[in-house]
Structure 1
């Protein structure tokens, strides 16, 4: 029995060590779950949904999850009933005492920004130690808002006209046209609302961005999103641009497909937002999956954590095409057979 106990303990310690990214515990913050608007989950169902959300890649590589229901508001019950208990628990257990990394997807980007802006004050007021967050890895970040949310809220409230094309787009994204009493976090995802929520956090935590430009909806939603998009979020939001505009890349010199050329990209970004990986072939959901969908390029090949440590990707440039028709492309090494999430995880370790 004693030998079994020691083996079990060793296994638990090994799993915990494996979950860390570069020695830092990982905290997951999932995104918007449209089915929550109708099912309105509470209690254990919120936890079950959160576990399923990350199951394909990140769940077993994380130490903590902050699960929350999409029928609520970020500064309302999401913060008080779901975020705050987890922050207290992490502080009391010293999860982030030596630093931790948040990993967010979609609306989790907005929730994480709200956490970063408020956690130190909340915890200090409760007599607890603030979390030492050294970086946030934000996949398909919706922190700059989602134009589809504006349309959904307007339609639900009766102030928006809906034709067959818009109905199809909203139905593909949400599964249904929401009612006025059933829009929850969609309120927070409206572009102007999202950009005003904790827009200038005092904490200087680097928000490292990982972005796709594919679509799960055969382009049906893209008509309602400015510039390049991933089927749900426009690149101004996922790249972390300081303004909502039509952009075709997170960079002004590298396209989503890796081509080195002048391209319409942001000239400035939200505070401490740094776009890194991009790919034309990854959709909104695929960036956190465990499948290689396309080659990946880099808007920037690396960025520093808050403590000065660096996340760095290995890139190379190559010429494609023939003679005067040739172009130069930037590629992240091994991205043709490694998922975006796996590339980030491997680089961080």
Structure 2
């Protein structure tokens, strides 16, 4: 049954990625006028020779399906084309910046999973003032946009207290850890709060469930009940929301990288979009969609494996 479930999810993933790739490539052709003029920018009338060069380089005169297939197969072989604004291969640009983005997202994901789940579990198990404090904190953090959080952390921890650097990505593991702490906290804050709230609700629901009350009535130890009955049954929704949170970090990373001056993929996307550098925007958009869809599919499979109540053979 689990094999069929995974096969169905894999097929859905493949169709989703195919549709997303068509939309990303086709977005260029939805703009009015000649797409080549969007790639020139600058507000000046481009020369016919330059327009012809762009048409040849991007195969804009080819039929849509032919151009799409060429672009997709090149992407699958690691060739994302050339950047007009940076005069470099898109693959090289992404490779130079991927390390900072992956470190940032990994750092933020670690904060979300460890702190969010821990705080939510404590709030759900203990209740009282602990639950109230966690709920107030989570509600506050969820209401603060990423950019505002970035500015607030920079002013307080970097400028006012001078505890952490506010700009750049540093070098080496220790340097990166120090420089990316503020960006990671800013990126993780709202998702951490969301995970904490979902964890609290899931743990509280299991704590008050009938099977837990029955186990206590039979004299089973509290630690065993928490580990085997409460946390185990609450693990499915916690895993699901944690996966969504980690996938959602990719969208917020662009804002954080710009705010803290990080030389990452997210900042490259914003800069390239401002310069109308099509090849870079298409490549980053496709990579982001692929990563988001793969993570969500993996979370679906893991959630189904953890929760026996998910119907593997039918509609999940």
Report the TM-score range of the alignment, normalised by the length of the smaller protein.
under 0.3
TM-score by length of 2: 0.23
Q: Which has the higher helix share?
A: 2
The higher-RCO structure (CA 8 Å, 6+ apart) is: 2
Larger radius of gyration: 2
TM-score by length of 1: 0.22
